[in-house]
Structure 1
Amino acid sequence: MIRVLVVDDERMVCAHLRTILSAAPGLEVAGEAYDGAEALEATVRLRPDVVLMDLRMPGVDGLTAIESIVTLPRPPKVVALTTFDLDEYVLRALTAGAVGFLLKSTSPEDLVDLVRVAAAGHTVLSPVAAQRLLGATTGGPAARDLTAALTEREAQVLTGLGAGRSNQQIARQLHLSEATVKGYVSRLLVKLGCDNRTEAALLAHRAGLLPRELPRDT
């Protein structure tokens, strides 16, 4: 059972998310919090697996809460919730330790899938949100320079990270073992100077790798 903490200052948003998540097999809403301070306290008390964190809240905001939560012993996976009022908040949330972000308008089916992916420790990048975010950032030429020296296989693995795929999914689509993909990911992080999978995924978007299609499942 994946336990989820929902954090948003709008109680109707929390109720909506609770309804969607509670109806999904294998998911349980452990609780709700309505600002960053409550989120930190609830995380310590309830020990959820995933925290869905609104970024803009009165009092202690989501960004500050994320910075505190990721320093806890055995912290949960934090996913930023956004309406994209301030794109730079999302970049700061990822840097602070969030494993990804999603739009509040995400469909119920996608929301459930993204929570499960996040709980497994993988990057969560909503395609629409990623394109909006990356369109507001710079660094394309530098990212292309970094990725130009990658082998074809390394570029395929990086593309998979950019698409938010797990090691298992990338392995299946590239007809590799999961251990081989894990090795590729570790080497990519060192080669590209990225601290985590989320940074590598953003780099893949900036470098323009996402239009490249991975082989289809067989």
Structure 2
Amino acid sequence: MYFLTKELYFPPVETASYEGIVAIGGDLSPERLLLAYNSGIFPWFEEDEPIMWWSPPERMVLFFEDLKISKSMRNILNRKQFTVTFNTAFREVITNCKKIPRKDQPGTWITDEMVEAYCKLHELGKAKSVEVWQNEELVGGLYGVDLGHIFCGESMFSKVPNASKVAFIHLAKHLEQENYRLLDCQIYNDHLASLGCVEIDRDDFILALNF
């Protein structure tokens, strides 16, 4: 296992453990975070744990042509019961992602330190958010890191049914229009699979990242 020092460096992702851990330690400075994402690596750890850096052997991604919008979701979008904005309430979005209860999770992996780190990235124009509003209340959204050709989704939340799906669909359509290659969703879950996301090998993800 590689333990990071103050040096701005990550070992090659091919050296990751079976689970996908590339390194431990370091910091959450904007420079290190951007180096990580551009290398196919992301931080994921819990409160009171050292920072753990991951590049899993299988990566969950969305190819935009595979986006699945169910008939019921199309009806919701057509009714325009939600208002969607971009980058108008980043801190509120990440704070809600931190606080929202997660099924089968006792707590959150979004620590206070991570909130401040990604807000700094947002100030630099590198972390972005999608907000979903209903009656002027923030009811859903997501945030992630924008590499300019790949958007690395980090987390989403929903206070009312379907709000996070609305955020995801609007983001995917926006990225497709801007000629992004794919939307990185990191790790498999059923919610993402229902929207058309698939797992690809780490090597294929790194190729897309560096193409």
TM-score (normalizing by structure 2): 0.30
Report the structure, 1 or 2, having the larger strand content. 2
TM-score (normalizing by structure 1): 0.29
Report the structure, 1 or 2, having the larger helix content. 1
The structure with higher relative contact order (CA 8 Å, sep 6+) is 2
